[in-house]
Amino acid sequence: MIEINLLPKGYLKGGSNFSIGVAGKYVVAGGVGLCLILCAITFYQMGQVSELEENIAKANRRAETLRQDIRMVDALTEVKGKITQRMTTVERLDRHRSAWVRILEDLASNVPEFVWLGQVSETGGSTSAADTTASSIEIANVRPVQVQGYSFTLNALAAFMIKMMRSDYFDSVELVSATEVSFDKDGRIIRSKDRNSKNQRAYDFTLSCNVHYLSDEELRNMIAAVSDDTKTGKNSHRKLN
């Protein structure tokens, strides 16, 4: 018996042929192209990330080098500041060296009997004052000073203060403190609870005052200014005559 199937191929039983058509081919081709583009973008971004990581590593190494340089610069700046401060101090001491010699000589000559000094120190910055006795010339470098010492009697301390007030180098002399202390035979201060009649008693005093001092250069300038004023006055007097 012979059977003849007149149905189209697509309706045949057990048919395994699959056809996507022209549109399907375009869709598949587009999907493959999109995958290739995504892969290319991924590889490109991976390259960018790798380059960024390398640049970050270089920046970190550069930052570490700069931190070392900054620490070195800070250290050098600190050393420079210390050297500058020392140079300023040395220059200041050298500029007023002769003035301090005169001041200390005057201070030593004012110390009466039964008084001895322990320390003379500056307590603040410089100020300025006017010398009303000589052509109203401004005397610079007026500094507050504290004088610490010991006195066996209050009368001797008062005499020392009066002599300092009469000095040309000191003014505004005031008594800050005066405390009674005792000394043993070796000159050491005895505490109040250990005092006895055999210990030598004295007064530990502190004075505050202003000291006026001029360097040799400033003194020469003052003398020159006085001389110029004197010459100007004489010339004016001659013209009037």
In a domain, 14, yes or no: no
Is 196 found in the same domain as 167? yes
pLDDT, tens digit, 9 for 90 and up, residues 137-187: 344 478 899 999 999 999 999 999 999 999 888 889 999 999 888 876 666
Residues paired with residue 151 on neighbouring β-strands, in sequence order: 115, 203
Q: pLDDT tens digits for 99-149?
A: 778 888 889 999 999 999 989 888 865 444 333 333 333 444 788 999 999
Please tell me whether residues 61 and 169 are part of one structural domain.
Answer: no
Residue pLDDT, tens place only, 44-80: 888 888 888 888 988 888 888 888 888 888 899 999 9
Task: Tell me, yes or no, whether 185 and 125 share the same domain.
Answer: yes
Range(s) of the domain holding residue 196: 109-232
84/118 same-domain check: no
Residue 31 confidence (pLDDT): 83
Claim to verify: residue 148 and residue 176 sit in the same structural domain: yes
Query: Do residue 124 and residue 192 come from a single domain?
Result: yes
Q: Looking at the structure, do residues 89 and 120 belong to the same domain, yes or no?
A: no
What domain count does the chain have? 2
Closest CA to 189 of 148, 147, 146, 150: 150
- The pTM score is 0.47
141 plus 225 within the same structural domain: yes
Model pLDDT for residues 187-223, shown as the tens digit of each residue: 677 755 555 556 678 899 999 999 887 666 666 676 6
